[in-house]
Amino acid sequence: MNRILIGCLYLIIAGCTSRLPEKTIILSKEYSSKTSENFITRLDSNYSWRFIDAYTVSSEELNEELKKADGIILTGGADIHPARYGQIADTVKCGTIDTFRDSIEFVLLNHIDEFRTPCLGFCRGLQIMNVYNGGSLHLHLPDTLSSIHRCSEGKTAHTISVTKHISSVDIPVGQMNKIVSNHHQGIAELGEGLEVWATSPDGLSEGIRRSDTLNYPFYIGVQWHPELCEPGNEFDEGIGQSFINAMISE
C-alpha cells in the first residue's frame, strides 16, 4: 500500500513540475546567435518552444508549419528591395538586399492577415510590416533624418518614447527606454491600417501596430532590437512577454 501511495505521489509531483505544452514560433530567418530564441525562452521557460526557420524550409514545409504556428517573429536583417514600395531606381542607397527573404515575409504576413496569428517584428520586421501594408521607407536615414540609428561600428543606442498607449503591451504614454539600434532605413510613409505608438528623438516611427486591434490583437513592430536587451529591461521584456501572452491565450 505504501508503495502505491508513494507511486501516486510521484506521478502527481512529476505532473506538476513538467513543462507546459509545446508552442511553435515561425522565424522569418534564424541566425546563428539565436537571439530571438534566447529572448523568448529566457522570458518563459515553462513552455517547450519550437522554432522554425522559414528561410530554410521548402514552401510545402512552411505551409504545413504555418498550420501549427502559435506566433510569428519577423527578425532583423538585410534591406527590403525598394521596388516593393515603388522606388526601384534607388537600390544604390541600399545595403545588402535579399529578395528571397522579401517574398518569404510576404507569405508570412499574408498568413497573419488570414489567421490573425500573433506577430512581432524586430527592425527589418517593422519595415516589412510597413511595406506590406503599402508604406514606404527612408532609403538612408542620414540623408533625411539623422545618423543616430547606427554608428560606423554597427549597433548604437538612443532613447525612444511612447506616444500612444496600447493595451497589448501596456506601456504608458511618455515612458522612455534606451534601446539597441542598428539600421539605416526606417518608415517614411506609414502603411494603411497601421498606427505609430513610439518615436525616436528625430521623429522616426519606432513602434507600430495595426489600428484594428479587434481583428489583430497582437500585431506589433519595433524598429529596435528588444531581443538584444540586457536581462531586467522591463520595457523590452514587457514587449516580449506580451507576445508570449498573446500566443498562450490563443
Q: Is 119 a catalytic residue?
A: no
CA-wise closest residue to 50 among 60, 63, 31, 65: 65
CA 114 from chain centre, in angstroms, equals 18
- Specify the pairing of strand 219-222 against strand 205-210: antiparallel
Rg (CA), the chain: 20
Q: Which residue has the cell 527592425?
A: 123
The answer for residues whose C-beta is within 8 angstroms of residue 6's C-beta and 6 or more apart is: none
- 213 three-state secondary structure: coil
Query: Which residues fall within 8 angstroms of residue 44, CB to CB, at 6 or more apart?
Result: 241, 244
Rounded Cα distance, 101 and 50, in Å: 21
The answer to whether residue 225 is catalytic is: yes
Whether 151 is catalytic is no
Please work out, in degrees rounded to the nearest 5, the angle formed at the alpha carbon of residue 87 by the alpha carbons of 83 and 88: 50
In angstroms, the first-to-last Cα distance of the chain is: 43
Q: Among the options 123, 138, 140, 183, which is catalytic?
A: 123
Q: Which of 30, 37, 225, 229 is catalytic?
A: 225
Query: In degrees, to the nearest 5, what angle opens at C-alpha 222 toward C-alphas 33 and 185?
Result: 85
Catalytic residue set: 123, 225, 227
